[in-house]
Amino acid sequence: MNTSQTVQKDSGEPCECGLIREDIETLYKVSQILSHSLNLRETLEQVLTLLHDAGGFQNGMISLLDEETGNLNLRVQQKQGVISEGAISYRPGEGVVGEIMETCVAVVVPDIAKEPKFLGRSRAYDPGLPFIGVPIFAGSDALGVLATQPTMGREDLDGRARFMEMIANLIAQTVRLWVQLESEKRELKEERDTLRRAVKHEHGFDNMVGRSEVMRTVFEQVRLVSAWNTTVLIRGESGTGKELVANAIHYNSPRSGGPMVKLNCAALPDNLLESELFGHEKGAFTGANTQRKGRFEMANGGTLFLDEIGEISAAFQAKLLRVLQEGEFERVGGNKTQKVDVRVIAATNRDLEAEVERGEFREDLYYRLNVMPINMPPLRERTEDIPDLSRFLVAKIAKLQGRDLDITDSAIRIVLRHGWPGNVRELENMLERASIMSENGVIDRDVVVLSGLSDKAGGAPAPVATGGAPAPQAIDLNDPNLDERERVIAALEEAGWVQAKAARLLNMTPRQIAYRIQTLNIKVRQI
């Protein structure tokens, strides 16, 4: 029986690994501390406290490398058992600490009063105790410096230094992981901020095109209501841009940092709609294998856009009314009340007042939704916006297709004559078709007609917008910036496609304009 060895280990004598029992216990406790939390400051504080209380070290200091400046910055220090921070920094090679960082070699100073490189900036060291500083590095990467003063084992400072290197190696893994996490967090934050700026720009006021009086009213309403949490009801025909307005309200509001959640109420039956909006508990119904959050919970702190709100049934209207009034609900199959902070923007193309009169839509829900109504005018009531809107949509399509696109004035004049029952959505679809059929990237009159738009109004002036808005002015045939082909087409349109009359407008002879029509490949309309 090796009784003597057992007694020696228990009494503090070195074991075969060169460590005493207390050192092994300290290493174990340090590893426990480092595995419990990713809060770096809290972890480092606990390590220094442990070294002071049980490891035979005091006045510990941990400095870490700042990758941006290349300097060592003090992260945490301990003086006589008290943990504190400091605004102390060391350049590589500066003082004992800077030298350790630069050389990645441990330094032992038996008498700090006799060491000329010792700066003593932290004013935490006892001049009667030796000093040990060791590098914190992982692989070939220098991460920082661990420095402290041993209070026991001073007769074997090299052994104490080796023990501190073991502690530093343990710390290095945590520091490296923290550095990686911080780098990833910065990248994610930068990416998030970039995406937010891009989304805000994409859904900002710049994407709402229109100079007509009715659209200026809409813009002013959107600008004013964006600053508040008021419930908004956007009304208008299908394809007028109701979702675009909802996006503009959210991304220009104080809630822009929160989520923007959308749901088309017409796309789901009542039983699925309730689950989609309020969520469900596990086992609430067949197929509910897990708990699921609803759209209201997903939109907490942000905005919920309910499109086609007029399509929901009378039974579901009562359930929706409660969450709008109280901001609370229960998940399907649950009995716990959920509280949310959500701004609701609803949209409909239905006549809700008539439905309230017929008893098909709850009056109290109507008034709860109709706090701030915004009416989107149909495209036929703002024809003066069509030229700008067409150019904006062509630029948008060009970006998606990755090529240059342009639309001519003659094409826009045909666009102006159409009634646009499908509103802006129809206009965008037509322009996309025209862009596909335009091999040279120019959407002209012939391409627009080929895309399915009728030109039966031949030369008739563009209609005056409802509400007295002025019709677009005719093209100036003497404009030097006007393309020759466009000038001839404009003259023909103004002349009702009578070539002799168009020739007089252009100060040409009938033979000259006939030659122009042939060489410019203009398809003459038969009136």
Looking at residue 272, its pLDDT comes to 87
Q: What distance, in Å, lies between the first and last C-alpha atoms of the chain? A: 121
Backbone torsions φ then ψ of 158, nearest 5 degrees: -65, -40
Counting as low any pLDDT under 70, the low residues of the chain are: 1-20, 80-82, 84-87, 204, 454-475, 481, 525-527
Contact 307, 243 (CB under 8 A): yes
d(CA 295, CA 293): 7
Token pair in block for residue 498: 């009578």
Report the predicted TM-score, pTM, of the whole model to 2 decimal places.
Answer: 0.63
Tens of pLDDT along 78-87? 776 667 666 6
The C-alpha atoms of residue 196 and residue 165 are separated, in whole angstroms, by 45
Q: For 17-181, CATH number?
A: 3.30.450.40
Sorted by sequence, the CB contacts under 8 Å of residue 282 that are 6+ apart come out as 288, 289, 290, 291, 333
Query: Comparing 17-181 with 205-282+291-377, is the CATH topology the same?
Result: no
Domain 205-282+291-377 matching CATH 3.50.50.60: the answer reads no
Strands across the sheet with 232-235, in order? 260-264, 303-307, 343-348, 232-235, 372-375
Query: Residues of the chain with pLDDT > 70: what percent?
Result: 89
Say which residues have a Cβ less than 8 Å from residue 460's Cβ, sequence separation at least 6. Answer: 417
What are the residues whose beta carbons fall under 8 Å from the beta carbon of 431, sequence distance 6 or more? 390, 393, 394, 397, 407, 443
pLDDT score at 470: 39
Number of residues that make up the chain: 527
Q: Give CA separation, 421 vs 212, 237, 261, 407, 427, in Å.
A: 19, 9, 29, 22, 10
Fold observed for domain 381-519: Helicase, Ruva Protein; domain 3 (1.10.8)
Return d(Cα 221, Cα 245) in angstroms, integer: 10
CA gap 322, 338 in Å, rounded: 12
Q: What is the pLDDT of residue 86?
A: 64
The domain locations on the chain are 17-181, 205-282+291-377, 381-519
